[in-house]
Each structure stands twice: as structure tokens, then as C-alpha cells.
Amino acid sequence: DTLLFCQSARQIAEGMPYVFTPGDRPSTGSTSHLYPFVLAVLYKAGATGDALLTAGFVLNALFYLVFLANWGLIVGRLASSPRAKAAACVLLVLNGHAAYGALSQSDVGLFMAVSSGIFAALLAGRLGWLAALLALSPWCRPEGAMLAVLYAGALIVRRALLRQRVLRGEWLAGGMH
């Protein structure tokens, strides 16, 4: 995927978005609409060739740090004892699969940052952040569309089946008026 994203970024930077090879018909060619555009900004800033690979790695390392910070907030809200909080954070940091996913030079790092931000915003009651991240998530990866749909579905279940009040801001965050 890395080289596909880099090629897409170059094409975007050269004014041919969604055209993987010059002369071809438009196609997304990747699982993410947003990530190639983020890489294109780096390309336009001078990160071409191998430098784009390095810049993409640094970018994904930053996304991984955002993911860890978000999970620190999540653990802080869900765990009750300092020992449980510390253990959960250490286990996450030592999780090789999460690190590999974020640093694998694909759109996964971006999605990890956004999806963990959705959960952190939900737990913190930050409806503005929640709305923004839910709107952004389908553009990061196809799974993001499911997060938005599931959030809206949870609100409907909460109101219709559980007979619990749903705040106007929660409806707005779910994209429903």
C-alpha cells in the first residue's frame, strides 16, 4: 500500500487527483480518500522520492502518538485505580500489533488516531470533537463509515428501546437533525 499511496500523493500534488497513472481514467485506487491528500501536502513541501517515505513514516509516528494519547484519556475515564490505569497504558504501548499497524506506512495510522479520538471524545462528552471526527472517519478508511452509522444507531436504540433522553447535541454529532 505504501507505494500506492505515494504514487497517489504525487499525482495529487501534480494536479491529477484520483488518476493513478497519467492518462488513465480517475479511480481512488486506495482505501482512503484523505491519506493520499495528506501525503500530497508533504510532497508539495519537498518530500519527494525516498524523502516521502521518511515523511510518511514520521507522520504515522505522530498519528501513533495521538492514538496512544487518546487511549491514555480513554483508560483514564474507564479504569478506576492508578495501578489499573498504568497497567492498561503499559500493555497498549507494548502491543506490537498496534505499533506495527500505525507505522506500516499506510492509512491505518491516520484511522487509528481518528477512531481512538472518536472514543475519547465520546467518553469526555466533547460533542463538537465527536461530530468532527465522525464526519472525518469515512474519509480515512471505509470502516469509518461504520463508526458513524453505529453511533447514530446507538442513539436510536437509546431513545426508542431504552426510552432514554438523547440530547440535541448528540443527534447533531451523529449527523441527524
Please tell me the number of Cα atoms within 13 Å of 109 on its side-chain side: 24
Closest by Cα among 147, 62, 70, 63 to 116: 70
Place of cell 438523547: 166
Question: What is the residue-level pLDDT of the chain in tens, covering all 177 positions?
Answer: 888 899 999 999 999 888 888 888 887 667 899 999 999 999 999 999 999 999 999 999 999 999 999 999 999 999 999 999 999 999 999 999 999 999 988 999 999 999 999 999 999 999 889 999 999 999 999 999 999 889 988 988 988 888 888 888 888 887 764
pTM higher than 0.75 for the full model? Answer: yes
